[in-house]
Amino acid sequence: MRNAFQSSLNFDLAHQALDATLTHAQANTNPTDEQLRQIVNFELSTYTGQQFDYAAGDLAALGAQGGPVFLSRVPYYPGINDSLEGNPAGAPFDPNAFGLFSSWQDLTKADLRTAPRESIARGEVLFNTAPVTIQDVKGLNDALGMTTIVGTCTTCHDTPAVGDHSLPVPLDIGISDLPTPSSDPLTSALAELNPPRTPIFKLTCSTQLGAPSNLTVLTTDPGRAMITGHCADIGKFKGPILRGLAGHAPYFQNGSADSLEQVVNFYNQRFQMGLKANEIADLVAFLSSL
């Protein structure tokens, strides 16, 4: 599977480079096979990771493993550490998908960098271990036939040191839903965001996968259903890679979160994490260091 993945990736990147050269760069002639190979090799050797934090300083100091150098050495293949038992190597899921800043726990040297570094380390532990009550997530609860799944942030962000899902698993966590006058966790979570003014789509679905005929769905974004045409894919999106988060605001597919604080507050409400203010600050510090 790993060899097939690499071959497919090389082919896709070469095709992308060809299209970009002819379309975006408006070249008059096709790049040669050797030029395409060089472009693909360059792309495959590029890694993005934050190296410096204004408060914590060098993210690779004192044994920490922030930045792109360590990331370039982390193994990857589709399904690695998959939380849904899809790892082709058969290895069990390890919720401790991040261990970049474990050396910053309980630092003995006290200076201006110490408190920010220990906050990042605590946030990393929370990301790996804080309980997340997963309910009403299309693509997960319904797919597994489980009303409630107790996991952690790494249940969905399971790729080691990177943070996306190691297999393509588009999910609907409710970002595109319309707020309703209720007290359920999703409504409370959406109140933490400031969604932009967008059209509301009314989608009518025929009988599919056991759903009622002529089912009507209101959403601000059809999501993956725009590609597949399947009612079951309404509102589903691929989870993002978490590297470089500090420079990627606004967040979510509709830009409804201006800051990582809003993102964490949304998840805290949506999945009933019960995080306290200091824990939210620690989790934001960790996400801001990637």
Domain locations in the chain?
2-170+242-287
Whole-number Cα distances in Å, 154 to 7, 178, 188, 210, 270? 28, 27, 23, 31, 16
Q: Are 107 and 117 in contact (CB under 8 A)?
A: yes
Q: Please write the tens of the pLDDT for every residue from 135-181.
A: 999 999 999 999 999 999 999 999 999 999 999 899 999 999 988 87
C-alpha dihedral over 252, 258, 261, 262, to 10 degrees? Answer: -60
Distance CA 76, CA 166 (A): 8
Q: Are 43 and 13 in contact (CB under 8 A)?
A: yes
Closest CA to 138 of 269, 231, 216, 254: 231
Average pLDDT, the chain: 92
pLDDT band at 16 (very low <50, low <70, confident <90, very high): very high
Distance CA 206, CA 214 (A): 5
Read off the pTM. 0.89
Q: Given a cut of 60, is residue 209 above it in pLDDT?
A: no
